[in-house]
């Protein structure tokens, strides 16, 4: 098998199949399972089938957070929007009519759980036989609607939650997902890579190629947006924001299968001149620092048993509700006492007046 075909198609596919098998407990003998999958894949690829490891589908830049270092530049949008579901559907149909298999599809926003047509999008992906599994990426700040929860119950789907420190919301989300039997996993203690600004660095061709070939996003996150497949989500949004126009992509409605394969096997991208994600001297930074200066604390959520934590959160909320009830009752009571004091003053005044009248009448007699 050709070297690039092995490195950019076969190996990433196997990596994803292994992850999927472990996450969903598909086997007790992972090595034997993987050996069989590899044989099948090699035979399919050698027979000319077009298999791609993974793509990212974006729902648009609307997000619940405003992370200043977001690799996808979400905080740059002054008017974030949702992508048209008809357009996404047409793009998916166009791409999948030309390929034979895609191991993983990742859905990203913005924040995916605020996308109003998420249930429809999930349904389309779930019923697509060419997709092995679907991963939802969320920042853990929104509880999905009932109709979305129902779709997430499908065993093809898993929810990947980033823990940015809002432990109460996160606990509620995980509890809800557990309640519906939805596969989910949560990343705490994340660090981000500082991807830098969006101006050109002026890198040489060989530097660009080194960066592109070493980048996990370039290998696993080719991003579908508005009829185009980009090298990664950052490239898609650099283009969408009109920050960089000469960025490589393929038009999924016009490209033929050979061109799609070629795109997956290429060795460089101009987008990497606007990004430090995969440079040799990476700088690691705290995740999700907000544009307004707010920083999230580490919640270490995953080291606390989910149910225990949910019970603690519930107890805390109950206690807070009781306290605020008591405060309200206190205010009502104080008002009642004030009214009684006023009544007492009034009646004492009346009694004094009557006593004076009494004295005066006695004097007249």
- Report the interface residues with ligand SF4, using CB under 6 A: 211-212, 215, 217-218, 231-232, 234-235, 269, 271-272, 275, 277-278
Quick check: 152 and 182 in contact, CB under 8 A? yes
Min dist. Cβ of residue 274 to ligand SF4 (A): 6
Cβ 20 to ligand SF4 shortest distance, Å: 23
Shortest Cβ 219–ligand SF4 spacing (Å)? 9
Nearer to ligand SF4, 156 or 234 (CB): 234
The residue (of 44 and 194) whose beta carbon lies closer to ligand SF4 is 194
Residue with Cβ nearer ligand SF4 (74 or 148): 74
Instruction: Using the minimum distance from each CB to ligand SF4, give the nearer residue, 216 or 349.
Output: 216
Q: State both tokens at 276.
A: 């430090």
Candidates 115, 117, 126, 177; CA nearest to 151 is 126
Of 134 and 235, the one with the shorter C-beta distance to ligand SF4 is: 235
Q: How far is the CB of 221 from ligand SF4 (least distance, A)?
A: 7
Asked if 182 and 148 touch (Cβ cutoff 8 Å), the reply is: no
Q: Which lies closer to ligand SF4 via its Cβ, residue 41 or residue 229?
A: 229
**Secondary structure class of 193 (helix, strand, coil):** strand
What count of other Cβ atoms lies within 10 Å of the Cβ of residue 52? 23
CB of 103 to ligand SF4, least distance (A): 19
How far apart (Å, rounded) are the C-alpha atoms in residues 358 and 339? 28
25 CB neighbour count, 10 Å cutoff: 8
Q: Cα separation of 42 and 6, whole Å?
A: 9
Contact 265, 53 (CB under 8 A): no
Task: Report the nearest approach of ligand SF4 to the CB of residue 268 (Å).
Answer: 9
Min dist CB 144 to ligand SF4, Å, is 27
Cβ nearer to ligand SF4, comparing 67 with 232: 232
C-beta of residue 233 within 8 angstroms of C-beta of residue 217? yes
CB atoms within 10 A of CB 173: 22
Nearer to ligand SF4, 132 or 248 (CB): 248
| 33 vs 243 by CB, closer to ligand SF4 | 243
Report, in Å, the least distance between residue 183 CB and ligand SF4: 26
- Cα dihedral across residues 68, 70, 76, 78: positive or negative: negative
| Residue with Cβ nearer ligand SF4 (72 or 138) | 72
Residue 101 parent element (H or E): strand 101-108
First to last CA, the chain: 130
Q: Are 200 and 247 in contact (CB under 8 A)?
A: no
Half-sphere exposure of 297 (CA within 13 A, CB side): 6
Longest dimension (CA), the chain: 130
Give the nearest distance from C-beta 208 to ligand SF4 in angstroms: 8
Residues in a beta bridge with 136: 107, 159
- Report the b/e string of 111-132 with b at 16+ CB within 10 A: bbbbbebbbbbbebbbeeeebb
Q: How far is the CB of 209 from ligand SF4 (least distance, A)?
A: 11
């Amino acid at each position: 098998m050709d070297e690039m075909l092995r490195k950019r198609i076969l190996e990433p596919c196997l990596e994803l199949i292994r992850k999927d098998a472990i996450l969903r407990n598909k086997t007790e003998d992972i090595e034997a399972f993987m050996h069989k999958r590899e044989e099948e894949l090699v035979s399919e690829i050698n027979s000319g089938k077009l298999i791609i490891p993974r793509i990212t589908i974006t729902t648009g830049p609307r997000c619940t957070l405003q992370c200043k270092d977001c690799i996808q530049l979400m905080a740059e949008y002054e008017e974030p929007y949702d992508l048209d579901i008809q357009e996404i559907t047409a793009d998916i149909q166009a791409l999948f009519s030309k390929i034979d298999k895609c191991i993983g599809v990742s859905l990203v926003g913005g924040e995916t759980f605020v996308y109003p047509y998420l249930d429809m999008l999930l349904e389309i992906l779930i019923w697509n036989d060419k997709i092995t599994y679907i991963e939802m990426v969320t920042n853990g700040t929104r509880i999905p609607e009932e109709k979305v929860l129902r779709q997430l119950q499908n065993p093809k789907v898993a929810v990947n939650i980033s823990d940015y420190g809002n432990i109460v919301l996160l606990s509620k989300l995980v509890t809800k997902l557990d309640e519906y039997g939805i596969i989910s996993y949560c990343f705490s203690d994340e660090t981000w890579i500082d991807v830098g600004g969006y101006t050109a660095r002026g890198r040489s061709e060989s530097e660009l190629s080194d960066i592109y070939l070493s980048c996990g996003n370039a290998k696993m996150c080719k991003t579908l947006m508005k009829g185009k497949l980009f090298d990664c989500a950052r490239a898609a949004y650099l283009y969408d924001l009109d920050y960089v126009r000469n960025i490589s992509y393929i038009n999924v409605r016009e490209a033929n299968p050979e061109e799609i394969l070629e795109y997956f096997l290429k060795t460089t991208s101009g987008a990497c001149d606007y990004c430090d994600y995969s440079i040799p001297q990476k700088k690691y930074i705290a995740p999700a620092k907000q544009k307004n200066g707010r920083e999230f604390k580490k919640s270490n959520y995953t080291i606390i048993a989910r149910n225990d934590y949910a019970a603690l959160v519930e107890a805390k909320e109950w206690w807070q509700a009781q306290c605020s009830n008591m405060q309200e009752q206190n205010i009502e009571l104080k008002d009642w006492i004030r009214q009684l004091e006023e009544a007492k003053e009034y009646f004492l005044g009346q009694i004094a007046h009557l006593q004076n009248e009494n004295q005066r009448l006695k004097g007249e007699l």
